[in-house]
Protein backbone atom coordinates (compact mmCIF):
# COMPACT_ATOMS: atom_id res chain seq x y z
CA UNK A 1 0.00 0.00 0.00
CA UNK A 2 2.85 2.34 0.84
CA UNK A 3 4.32 1.60 -2.54
CA UNK A 4 0.98 2.38 -4.15
CA UNK A 5 0.92 5.71 -2.37
CA UNK A 6 4.47 6.52 -3.41
CA UNK A 7 3.48 5.90 -7.01
CA UNK A 8 0.77 8.53 -6.62
CA UNK A 9 2.82 11.73 -6.31
CA UNK A 10 3.91 12.22 -9.93
CA UNK A 11 0.57 11.33 -11.64
CA UNK A 12 -1.28 13.54 -9.17
CA UNK A 13 0.98 16.45 -10.08
CA UNK A 14 0.43 15.75 -13.77
CA UNK A 15 -3.34 15.64 -13.37
CA UNK A 16 -3.41 18.87 -11.37
CA UNK A 17 -1.23 20.60 -13.95
CA UNK A 18 -3.44 19.41 -16.82
CA UNK A 19 -6.65 20.52 -15.09
CA UNK A 20 -5.28 23.87 -13.96
CA UNK A 21 -3.72 24.80 -17.29
CA UNK A 22 -6.62 23.70 -19.45
CA UNK A 23 -9.17 25.36 -17.14
CA UNK A 24 -7.21 28.60 -17.35
CA UNK A 25 -6.89 28.48 -21.14
CA UNK A 26 -10.50 27.40 -21.69
CA UNK A 27 -11.66 29.90 -19.09
CA UNK A 28 -10.20 32.77 -21.08
CA UNK A 29 -10.85 31.57 -24.63
CA UNK A 30 -14.15 29.79 -23.92
CA UNK A 31 -15.31 32.79 -21.91
CA UNK A 32 -14.59 35.10 -24.82
CA UNK A 33 -16.31 32.79 -27.29
CA UNK A 34 -19.30 32.52 -24.93
CA UNK A 35 -19.57 36.31 -24.62
CA UNK A 36 -19.36 36.49 -28.39
CA UNK A 37 -22.13 33.92 -28.84
CA UNK A 38 -24.34 35.79 -26.39
CA UNK A 39 -23.73 39.15 -28.07
CA UNK A 40 -24.46 37.70 -31.50
CA UNK A 41 -27.79 36.25 -30.43
CA UNK A 42 -29.08 38.90 -28.01
CA UNK A 43 -31.32 41.57 -29.54
CA UNK A 44 -29.92 44.15 -27.13
CA UNK A 45 -26.43 43.63 -28.53
CA UNK A 46 -25.79 42.50 -32.10
CA UNK A 47 -28.73 40.09 -32.44
CA UNK A 48 -30.77 42.29 -34.75
CA UNK A 49 -28.12 42.46 -37.45
CA UNK A 50 -28.47 39.94 -40.23
CA UNK A 51 -24.70 39.45 -40.35
CA UNK A 52 -24.66 38.60 -36.65
CA UNK A 53 -27.40 36.03 -37.05
CA UNK A 54 -25.44 34.40 -39.85
CA UNK A 55 -22.23 34.42 -37.82
CA UNK A 56 -24.11 32.91 -34.88
CA UNK A 57 -25.38 30.06 -37.05
CA UNK A 58 -21.86 29.34 -38.28
CA UNK A 59 -20.46 29.45 -34.75
CA UNK A 60 -23.24 27.14 -33.52
CA UNK A 61 -22.39 24.58 -36.21
CA UNK A 62 -18.67 24.73 -35.42
CA UNK A 63 -19.23 24.35 -31.68
CA UNK A 64 -21.67 21.48 -32.04
CA UNK A 65 -19.26 19.72 -34.35
CA UNK A 66 -16.35 20.16 -31.95
CA UNK A 67 -18.46 18.88 -29.08
CA UNK A 68 -19.58 15.81 -31.05
CA UNK A 69 -16.12 14.28 -31.36
CA UNK A 70 -15.40 11.44 -28.95
CA UNK A 71 -12.57 12.82 -26.83
CA UNK A 72 -10.09 10.13 -27.78
CA UNK A 73 -10.55 10.99 -31.48
CA UNK A 74 -10.28 14.71 -30.80
CA UNK A 75 -7.02 14.09 -28.98
CA UNK A 76 -5.52 12.41 -32.00
CA UNK A 77 -6.90 15.04 -34.37
CA UNK A 78 -5.26 17.93 -32.52
CA UNK A 79 -1.85 16.26 -32.38
CA UNK A 80 -0.49 18.60 -35.09
CA UNK A 81 -1.78 21.55 -33.11
CA UNK A 82 0.01 20.35 -29.96
CA UNK A 83 3.21 20.02 -31.94
CA UNK A 84 2.75 23.55 -33.23
CA UNK A 85 2.02 25.11 -29.83
CA UNK A 86 4.18 23.18 -27.31
CA UNK A 87 6.68 21.73 -29.77
CA UNK A 88 5.80 18.10 -29.08
CA UNK A 89 2.81 15.84 -29.44
CA UNK A 90 3.71 13.72 -26.43
CA UNK A 91 3.69 14.34 -22.69
CA UNK A 92 1.73 16.27 -20.12
CA UNK A 93 2.14 19.65 -21.78
CA UNK A 94 1.00 18.22 -25.09
CA UNK A 95 -2.07 16.75 -23.36
CA UNK A 96 -3.13 20.22 -22.23
CA UNK A 97 -3.86 21.22 -25.83
CA UNK A 98 -6.64 18.69 -26.60
CA UNK A 99 -8.08 19.20 -23.10
CA UNK A 100 -8.35 22.94 -23.79
CA UNK A 101 -9.78 22.36 -27.25
CA UNK A 102 -12.47 20.13 -25.75
CA UNK A 103 -13.26 22.53 -22.91
CA UNK A 104 -13.48 25.75 -24.94
CA UNK A 105 -16.77 24.96 -26.74
CA UNK A 106 -18.18 23.39 -23.57
CA UNK A 107 -17.44 26.47 -21.49
CA UNK A 108 -18.52 28.81 -24.28
CA UNK A 109 -22.01 27.25 -24.16
CA UNK A 110 -22.09 27.56 -20.39
CA UNK A 111 -21.12 31.25 -20.51
CA UNK A 112 -23.63 31.91 -23.30
CA UNK A 113 -26.49 30.35 -21.36
CA UNK A 114 -25.50 32.00 -18.06
CA UNK A 115 -25.52 35.44 -19.70
CA UNK A 116 -28.80 34.71 -21.50
CA UNK A 117 -30.44 33.91 -18.18
CA UNK A 118 -29.98 37.46 -16.91
CA UNK A 119 -33.41 39.11 -16.82
CA UNK A 120 -33.98 41.27 -19.89
CA UNK A 121 -35.46 43.97 -17.63
CA UNK A 122 -32.06 44.33 -15.98
CA UNK A 123 -30.51 44.89 -19.41
CA UNK A 124 -33.21 47.51 -20.14
CA UNK A 125 -32.35 49.28 -16.90
CA UNK A 126 -28.65 49.24 -17.74
CA UNK A 127 -29.39 50.64 -21.20
CA UNK A 128 -31.52 53.41 -19.73
CA UNK A 129 -28.56 54.28 -17.47
CA UNK A 130 -26.82 55.36 -20.72
CA UNK A 131 -24.06 52.79 -20.48
CA UNK A 132 -22.19 51.42 -23.48
CA UNK A 133 -22.70 47.80 -24.53
CA UNK A 134 -19.23 46.84 -23.34
CA UNK A 135 -19.81 48.41 -19.95
CA UNK A 136 -23.19 46.69 -19.60
CA UNK A 137 -21.55 43.38 -20.41
CA UNK A 138 -18.64 43.66 -18.00
CA UNK A 139 -20.06 45.82 -15.20
CA UNK A 140 -23.58 44.37 -15.08
CA UNK A 141 -24.16 41.13 -17.00
CA UNK A 142 -21.09 39.19 -15.90
CA UNK A 143 -21.49 40.15 -12.21
CA UNK A 144 -25.21 39.32 -12.42
CA UNK A 145 -24.42 35.91 -13.96
CA UNK A 146 -21.45 35.20 -11.66
CA UNK A 147 -23.03 32.40 -9.56
CA UNK A 148 -24.04 30.51 -12.73
CA UNK A 149 -20.62 31.14 -14.24
CA UNK A 150 -18.90 29.68 -11.17
CA UNK A 151 -21.16 26.61 -11.25
CA UNK A 152 -20.42 26.21 -14.96
CA UNK A 153 -16.68 26.46 -14.41
CA UNK A 154 -16.94 23.79 -11.70
CA UNK A 155 -18.77 21.51 -14.11
CA UNK A 156 -16.08 22.13 -16.74
CA UNK A 157 -13.25 21.25 -14.33
CA UNK A 158 -14.90 17.97 -13.39
CA UNK A 159 -15.38 17.06 -17.05
CA UNK A 160 -11.74 17.91 -17.67
CA UNK A 161 -10.73 15.60 -14.85
CA UNK A 162 -12.61 12.82 -16.62
CA UNK A 163 -11.05 13.61 -19.98
CA UNK A 164 -7.57 13.85 -18.48
CA UNK A 165 -7.78 10.15 -17.61
CA UNK A 166 -7.24 9.51 -21.31
CA UNK A 167 -4.08 11.61 -21.47
CA UNK A 168 -2.02 8.42 -21.06
CA UNK A 169 -2.67 7.63 -24.72
CA UNK A 170 -0.32 10.46 -25.70
CA UNK A 171 2.04 9.97 -22.77
CA UNK A 172 0.48 12.67 -20.66
CA UNK A 173 0.46 10.58 -17.49
CA UNK A 174 -1.94 11.52 -14.74
CA UNK A 175 -4.10 9.54 -12.33
CA UNK A 176 -6.19 7.85 -15.00
CA UNK A 177 -3.03 6.63 -16.68
CA UNK A 178 -1.77 5.29 -13.35
CA UNK A 179 -5.01 3.40 -12.82
CA UNK A 180 -4.89 1.85 -16.29
CA UNK A 181 -1.21 0.96 -16.44
CA UNK A 182 -0.76 -0.39 -12.91
CA UNK A 183 -4.22 -1.33 -11.85
CA UNK A 184 -5.62 -2.74 -15.08
CA UNK A 185 -2.63 -3.89 -17.08
CA UNK A 186 -0.53 -5.19 -14.16
CA UNK A 187 -3.37 -6.42 -11.93
CA UNK A 188 -2.35 -4.08 -9.10
CA UNK A 189 -5.69 -3.64 -7.43
CA UNK A 190 -4.19 -1.50 -4.66
CA UNK A 191 -2.74 1.04 -7.12
CA UNK A 192 -6.04 1.12 -9.01
CA UNK A 193 -7.90 1.76 -5.76
CA UNK A 194 -5.52 4.51 -4.67
CA UNK A 195 -5.79 6.21 -8.07
CA UNK A 196 -9.57 5.99 -8.23
CA UNK A 197 -10.05 7.18 -4.64
CA UNK A 198 -7.76 10.13 -5.35
CA UNK A 199 -9.84 11.04 -8.41
CA UNK A 200 -13.02 10.83 -6.33
CA UNK A 201 -11.50 13.10 -3.70
CA UNK A 202 -10.49 15.60 -6.40
CA UNK A 203 -14.02 15.63 -7.84
CA UNK A 204 -15.47 16.19 -4.38
CA UNK A 205 -13.00 18.98 -3.65
CA UNK A 206 -13.72 20.79 -6.92
CA UNK A 207 -17.47 20.42 -6.50
CA UNK A 208 -17.37 21.48 -2.86
CA UNK A 209 -15.31 24.61 -3.56
CA UNK A 210 -17.40 25.55 -6.59
CA UNK A 211 -20.65 25.19 -4.68
CA UNK A 212 -19.25 27.09 -1.71
CA UNK A 213 -18.04 30.00 -3.86
CA UNK A 214 -21.33 30.22 -5.77
CA UNK A 215 -23.26 30.07 -2.51
CA UNK A 216 -21.19 32.79 -0.86
CA UNK A 217 -21.75 35.09 -3.86
CA UNK A 218 -25.49 34.49 -3.65
CA UNK A 219 -25.48 34.98 0.11
CA UNK A 220 -24.09 38.50 -0.24
CA UNK A 221 -27.04 39.51 -2.44
Partner 1 sequence: MFHAGRPEEAANQALIAHPPYQAPLAGDRTMPSGAVFQDIPVSASIFPRTALRLDAISKAFGSHTVLDEISLNVPKGQIHGIIGKSGAGKTTLIRIAGLLDKPDRGSVFFEGINAPVHELRGQELLEARRKVGFIFQSFNLFASRTAGENIAFPLEAAGWPSAKIRARVQELLDLVGLADKADRPSSRLSGGEKQRVAIARALANHPSILLSDEATSALDPETTRSVLDLIRNLRDMLGLTVVMVTHQMEVVRRICDSVSVIASGSIVEEGLVSEIFAHPRSAAAKAFLKEGQHE
When asked if residue 197 is in the footprint of partner 1 (CB under 8 A), the reply is: no
Q: How far is the CB of 140 from partner 1 (least distance, A)?
A: 6
How many CB atoms are located within 10 Å of the residue 38 CB?
25
State which residue, 83 or 133, has the beta carbon closest to partner 1. Answer: 133
Residues 6+ apart with CB under 8 A from 24: none
State which H helix or E strand residue 145 sits in: helix 142-164
Read off φ and ψ for residue 117, nearest 5 degrees.
-75, -15
When asked if residue 139 is in the footprint of partner 1 (CB under 8 A), the reply is: yes
Cα separation, 132 vs 137, in Å, equals 9
Q: Which of 183, 43, 194 is nearest to 127 (CA)?
A: 43
DSSP letter at 167? G
Q: Name the one range near partner 1 by CB under 8 A: 4-12, 25-33, 83-91, 127-135.
A: 127-135
When asked if residue 85 is in the footprint of partner 1 (CB under 8 A), the reply is: no
State which residue, 2 or 119, has the beta carbon closest to partner 1. Answer: 119
State which residue, 55 or 131, has the beta carbon closest to partner 1. Answer: 131
When asked if residue 50 is in the footprint of partner 1 (CB under 8 A), the reply is: no
Q: Which of 49, 57, 61, 135 binds partner 1 (CB under 8 A)?
A: 135
Query: x/- binding map, residues 145-174, to partner 1, per CB under 8 A?
Result: -x----------------------------
Burial pattern 105-131, b for ≥16 Cβ within 10 A else e, equals bbbbbbbbebbbebeeeebeebeeeee
Binding interface with partner 1 (CB under 8 A): 119, 121-122, 124-132, 135, 139-140, 143-144, 146, 220-221
Amino acid sequence: MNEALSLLAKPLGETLLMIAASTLIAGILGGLVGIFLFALSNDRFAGKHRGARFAKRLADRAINMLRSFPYIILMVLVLPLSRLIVGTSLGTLAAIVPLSVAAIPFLARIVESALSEVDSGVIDAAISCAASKTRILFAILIPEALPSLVSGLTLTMISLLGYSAMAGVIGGGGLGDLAIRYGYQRFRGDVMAVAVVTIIILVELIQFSGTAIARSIRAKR
